[in-house]
Amino acid sequence: MNSQATLSRELALRIGLAARALPDTDAKRLLSVLTDCIGLPITEEKIVGINLKTLKTALAGEFLDVDEPLLTHALSILKSGLDTHPTAQTQQAYVDGDMPGSVRIACASNDGINVDGHFGSCSQFMVYQVSADEARLIDIRNPDIPKGLEVDDKNVFRAELIQDCQVLYIASVGGPAAAKIVKLGIHPMKLPGIESIADIIDQLQTVIAGTPPPWLAKVMGIDATNRFRFEREATG
């Protein structure tokens, strides 16, 4: 597209990052929507004037089916130019058995700070081991399919990448993909909006320390008698 030549390097990068925050979207698709929104050339000044409604209905409603929190996040990237990798988190060593009563979670993220990713297009899975009083970032997994590797189903490939995790936190996921995640024994948690990973871990630790639901108690290795007790407490 000729308009790409007029974009500053920073703006082009932000368009690419914003596209990654949206499901099944690349920079070309987002550029087409932006062109319909504000015309050519695409400039910083014009992008500042885009609102959520305009973005959602542009190009005959190209993004009408996209979850609003994801669209809002993509728009914030476009407008503010915020650094989507503001803090390099340090991975910590973990050996099975280090944290009794813990659970392993994966967070679909584009910025490494928030759960802001669609399952099928997020740029990374942040993998944490979480107990009631400790949380370790034990891995950061790139879900891009390696060049030259033939994959029949991208969603299965992504799900198998985090098959060692018991819980997956995501901003958005389609029904067929969710079914494939569940089939591998992973419990998907679709959030109502974008949340920071730190807040999610805090909430999970509170649940672990209190009365975890039976499914969570099971993956934590709590014996059947206590899981039954949790179930009775949950149902009153």
143-202 pLDDT, tens digit per residue, is 998 888 888 999 999 999 999 999 999 999 999 999 999 999 999 999 998 899 999 999
Would the pLDDT of 131 be above 90? yes
What is the average pLDDT across 115-127?
93
Which pTM value belongs to this model? 0.71
Query: Average pLDDT over the chain, rounded to whole?
Result: 85
> CA–CA separation, 135 vs 100, rounded Å?
12
Write the CB contacts of 31 (distance below 8 Å, at least 6 apart in sequence).
1, 3, 4, 15, 42
Which fold does the domain 103-235 belong to in CATH?
Nucleotidyltransferase; domain 5 (3.30.420)
- Beta-carbon-side half-sphere exposure of residue 126 (alpha carbons within 13 Å): 28
Task: Tell me the domain boundaries of the chain.
Answer: 2-80, 103-235
> CA–CA separation, 171 vs 20, rounded Å?
13
The sign of the dihedral angle between the CA atoms of 146, 180, 74, 1 is: positive
Q: Which CATH superfamily is domain 2-80 in?
A: Dinitrogenase iron-molybdenum cofactor, N-terminal (1.10.150.590)
> CA–CA separation, 89 vs 135, rounded Å?
13
